[in-house]
Amino acid sequence: MSISGNVSPQWLEEQYQLWKSDPGQVSPDWQAFFEGFDLARQTPVSDSNLAAKNSAVDSLIYRYRDLGHLQACTDPLSPCLTDHAQLNLAAFGLSEADLDQTFYPLRFPKQSATLREIVELLKDTYCGAIGVEFMHIQDPTKREWLKQRMEEKRNRAQLDRAEQLHVLEKLQEATLFEAFLHRKFLGQKRFSLEGGEVIIPLLDTLLTQAAERGISDLIMGMSHRGRLNVLANIFDKPLENLFAEFQDNLELAFVGDGDVKYHKGYSADRVLPSGHNLHLSLAANPSHLEAVDPVVIGKCRARHVGYGPGGKKRVLPVLIHGDAAFAGQGLVTEVLNLSQLDGYQSGGTFHLVVNNQIGFTTAPAHARSTLYATDVAKMLMVPIFHVNGEDPEAAVYAASLALEYRQTFGDDVVVEVICYRLHGHNEGDEPFFTQPLMYEKIRQRPPLHEIYAARLIASGVEPQAVTERSDKISKRLEAALDGEPKPQADVGFQAKWANIQRDYTREEPATKVDAKTLKKLAQRLASLPPGLNAHPKIERLLKRREESLLEDTGIDWANAEALAFASLLTENVPVRLSGQDSRRGTFNQRHSTLVDQKTGQLYVPLAFLQKGQAAIQIYDSMLSEAAVLGLEYGYSLETPHGLTIWEAQFGDFANGAQVIIDQFIGTSGTKWDRSSGLVLFLPHGYEGQGPEHSNARIERFMNLCADNNMHIAYPSTPAQLFHLLRRQCKLPYRRPLIVFTPKSLLRLPACSSTLSELSEGSFQAILPCATPAEQVETLLLCSGKIYFELQAALEAAGRDDVGVLRIEKLYPLHQDVLQEAVSRYRNVKRVAWVQEEPKNMGPWPHLQYRLSRAIGRNPEYCGRKAAAAPAVGSHRRHREEQQQIIDLALGVPKAPGNKDK
């Protein structure tokens, strides 16, 4: 169908007249149409085919821009294509007879050119060592920007001799480093970069260009492949220290359990030859491929927020991926989706995909369903550059152009380097077992630095200049092997972490806030600006919250949380809360962000407490657990003096981010000496909502606990939450805090706190019984929501011989504190632990032994039997089970014929 197939002649004539008077009055597509129309009208009648051929040439130009990458010479292991069915002249009704005919193409670098010149420019630009996918980008400004820059230089680097020799030297550094490790530490895993050494000059160029374009911080995430090479030749990590790690030199003391050398993070401040300073940071990461991606984005987000306006252009996230992981790991897609979201965007990520054309032993045909490993990135409509891994000048050019695009438009960019892997997955693998044909080709390939050196020698470089550089590098490697490791700064606790101590202490900070201040904050939170059309119900809710403080009628959960946030903000502690539906709250409880009912404008009362307060960020996240939690963990690493919270929609859904919990939150301190004060809000409690909306898996988090690596709390009152959040920011050290938060308690009148409990109290690891100690004959211990059901049953039954002791902090739970709490009940005849969760879940599996030690006997267990699923699906069965737990705890005899289920 023609471009005008769905428009009327009258409308078309009107648009044509508008275009004639001012081309800018119509869209770019219609401009092109009318230009072609006029050109056809001016064609001499004697040449009836010229108009058709002009149109064919325009189509050919478009096709090369769109599909030229299919003929690009980007695979060093395959011969270059000389033709492609969709790009040859016959596909457009043209022939070699037309090659010397002059045409007048639209939007082309030359106003007129022969077909031969046109094809030559297009092949040079789009079918050389760089294949580019960019025509899927819908923004014509971005497409035009790319076209102009690529076609002007024909996608070729224009390096002077000094720059070429520098590229050669970086290649030599990369290759000789790997060869040296292979000789000196034979058999040790290093996950060599050999076959992909070109990324070293690429990254070197990226650093130089980044600094010159105003970037001050470059934060990188990558997996194990080539990591040691990057540390040595990009981050300038002392070779002596790297070699000492291979020798497992115990004098290089580490904190905690440590990790393998190709997982560790590193930071450095580089002074580049241009004189620019650039801070480099390589995030520590586990073996779980791509898990570090959102962590890097979170670190970058925190840094550019700290810089203020313009911060996005100062901080560059760089993620280095493998081809199989980029296509196979869903976390990649989640992180790509974060790139343009308010609250999560980082100004554009530089994605470098090292495509060694194999995933462990899996061929591309079995690793993805797409043509390219990078096809998933097209969801963002960003440029993708495919580069031949044996053309270092093409690689550095692509990196430079991609960075310029990122700085101009604030979008992600993707550079895929197509190369190979010299060895197997690690140096002990035999790749010929599974890829004999591929590895026969690889066996015959000379090292890249030799290929490039031969190219430079052929262009006039003296061979001596090549050998001098390689000899110098070899001598430096040998000297470093014999040298002493250099002292390294305690990076984890410098700069913004300088006043935070590494070690855990039992010190308890003051967290109370005087009543006058709390009342003032409550008034500010309830004061709405004139003209804001708040929802009437929300306006009444805010007033009730204010009155609850002014009249001391009971502070509920959401109110205590808001007051904790507000008090921290006015003490210059920034607060960030992120999660699915966090602004309103999953259970319609928070209402942190008001929406004008007439304009849709947002208003956050916490942002307008007083002049000079700290920043508040509350965001509704996309529907992802792993990526968002990973981002918030990264954010917390950069903000030790702030309160950073990730909230699950239901605590059950946290297992969607289990990799982040297990590999980062639970173990980063002992593996990498990296502390985090991240807080997790995990709604938990049994209300008959089924197996996926009841249980946040307390037992899984407790199973991660050792050496005081995190805090786990199940607070039962608003005041406890208030002090717990303030305590998190005032402790002298930082540890992750896991908070199991309520659902039904959010509106339970009994679950409220007095003003004095906020203004005079503090967080209590254990809350004592309401029953006087001397009256207690049955002592029930529990955590969380079940307390209120037990207390209600006791009051209904008129029982004054039963005490309920609440354990609010599940870890660390110090034995002396527990011992002291239970020792005051001297007349106890019966002790039982009560929980809602099945016997193999909840706190019981981990507390049973500690409780036995504290009370000198084995406590009874009152709860659901062990189960595979966390909860039943029937609401009726839930009620029955819940009542059985209460009856068992209170010693109520079973009805005749009632059997355990």
pLDDT of residue 899: 47
C-alpha to C-alpha distance for 614 and 634, rounded to whole angstroms: 20
| Other C-beta atoms lying within 10 Å of the C-beta of residue 430 | 9
Q: Extract the tokens encoding 339.
A: 């790139």
Longest dimension (CA), the chain: 116
Q: What global pTM score does this model have? A: 0.92
Nearest to 283 by CA among 227, 222, 370: 222
Q: At what angle do helices 557-569 and 536-550 cross, to 10 degrees?
A: 80
Query: What are the CA-CA distances from residue 134 to residues 92, 138, 378, 405 (Å)?
Result: 22, 9, 9, 12
Mean pLDDT of 726-741: 97
Q: Is 673 left (phi over 0), alpha (psi -120 to 50) or beta?
A: left
pLDDT of residue 138: 95
**144-171 residue pLDDT tens:** 999 999 999 999 999 999 999 999 999 9
- The pLDDT confidence band at residue 263, using thresholds 50, 70 and 90, is confident
C-alpha to C-alpha distance for 464 and 136, rounded to whole angstroms: 47
Q: Is 155 left (phi over 0), alpha (psi -120 to 50) or beta?
A: left
Nearest to 802 by CA among 767, 830, 784, 776: 776
| Other C-beta atoms lying within 10 Å of the C-beta of residue 416 | 26
3-state secondary structure 745-769: HHHCCCCCECHHHHHCCCCCCEECC
Q: At what angle do helices 50-67 and 28-42 cross, to 10 degrees?
A: 150
Mean pLDDT of 432-438: 90
**812-854 residue pLDDT tens:** 999 999 999 999 999 999 999 999 999 999 999 999 999 999 8
C-alpha to C-alpha distance for 892 and 654, rounded to whole angstroms: 36
Query: What are the CA-CA distances from residue 751 to residues 485, 785, 788 (Å)?
Result: 58, 9, 8
Query: What are the CA-CA distances from residue 559 to residues 149, 538, 562, 591, 679 (Å)?
Result: 56, 13, 5, 10, 18
Q: What is the residue-averaged pLDDT of the chain? A: 93
- The answer to whether 328 touches 359, Cβ cutoff 8 Å, is yes
pLDDT of residue 480: 94
Q: How many CA atoms lie within 13 A of 544 on its CB side?
A: 11
Please give the distance of CA 882 from its chain centroid, rounded to a whole number.
Answer: 40
Q: What is the distance in angstroms between the CA of the first residue and the CA of the last residue of the chain? A: 70
| Other C-beta atoms lying within 10 Å of the C-beta of residue 363 | 13
Q: Is the pLDDT of residue 312 over 80?
A: yes
Nearest to 557 by CA among 719, 785, 713: 719
Least confident of 10-14, 187-191, 253-257: 253-257
C-alpha to C-alpha distance for 229 and 251, rounded to whole angstroms: 23
pLDDT of residue 249: 57
- The answer to whether 355 touches 323, Cβ cutoff 8 Å, is yes
Nearest to 410 by CA among 69, 131, 139, 27: 139
In the chain, % of residues over pLDDT 90: 83
C-alpha to C-alpha distance for 406 and 213, rounded to whole angstroms: 11
Q: Residues 6 or more apart from 511 whose CB is under 8 A from it?
A: 722, 723, 726, 727, 730, 762, 763
Q: Extract the tokens encoding 869.
A: 């699923």
Q: Is the pLDDT of residue 423 over 60?
A: yes
Beta bridge partners of 280: 218, 268
C-alpha to C-alpha distance for 644 and 623, rounded to whole angstroms: 19
pLDDT of residue 45: 45
Please give the distance of CA 60 from its chain centroid, rounded to a whole number.
Answer: 41
What beta strand segments (E) does 676-777 contain?
Answer: 679-683, 711-713, 737-741, 766-767
pLDDT of residue 897: 47
pLDDT of residue 33: 77
**Bond before 893 cis per omega within 30 degrees:** no
Beta bridge partners of 133: 384
Q: Extract the tokens encoding 677.
A: 């004060």
Exposed, middle or buried by CB within 10 Å (0-12, 13-18, 19+), for 502?
middle
DSSP state of 113: E
Sheet architecture: strand order including 766-767: 766-767, 802-807, 778-782, 830-838, 860-864
DSSP state of 646: E
- The answer to whether 277 touches 269, Cβ cutoff 8 Å, is yes
Q: At what angle do helices 557-569 and 515-526 cross, to 10 degrees?
A: 100
- The pLDDT confidence band at residue 47, using thresholds 50, 70 and 90, is low
Exposed, middle or buried by CB within 10 Å (0-12, 13-18, 19+), for 49?
exposed
- The pLDDT confidence band at residue 2, using thresholds 50, 70 and 90, is very low
Q: Is the pLDDT of residue 552 over 60?
A: yes
pLDDT of residue 189: 83
| Other C-beta atoms lying within 10 Å of the C-beta of residue 162 | 8
Mean pLDDT of 364-375: 93
Mean pLDDT of 613-632: 97
More confident residue, 776 or 261: 776
- The pLDDT confidence band at residue 51, using thresholds 50, 70 and 90, is confident
Query: What are the CA-CA distances from residue 553 to residues 517, 550, 558, 565, 721 (Å)?
Result: 17, 8, 15, 21, 18
Exposed, middle or buried by CB within 10 Å (0-12, 13-18, 19+), for 433?
exposed
Nearest to 525 by CA among 595, 610, 585, 596: 610
Output the CA torsion sign for 86, 90, 94, 99. Answer: positive
Locus of tokens 């690891």: 765
C-alpha to C-alpha distance for 19 and 748, rounded to whole angstroms: 68
Nearest to 333 by CA among 307, 364, 368: 368
C-alpha to C-alpha distance for 634 and 795, rounded to whole angstroms: 47
Mean pLDDT of 228-251: 86
- The answer to whether 666 touches 654, Cβ cutoff 8 Å, is no
Secondary-structure percent of the chain, ordered helix, strand, coil, rounded to 5: 45, 15, 40
Q: Is the pLDDT of residue 211 over 60?
A: yes
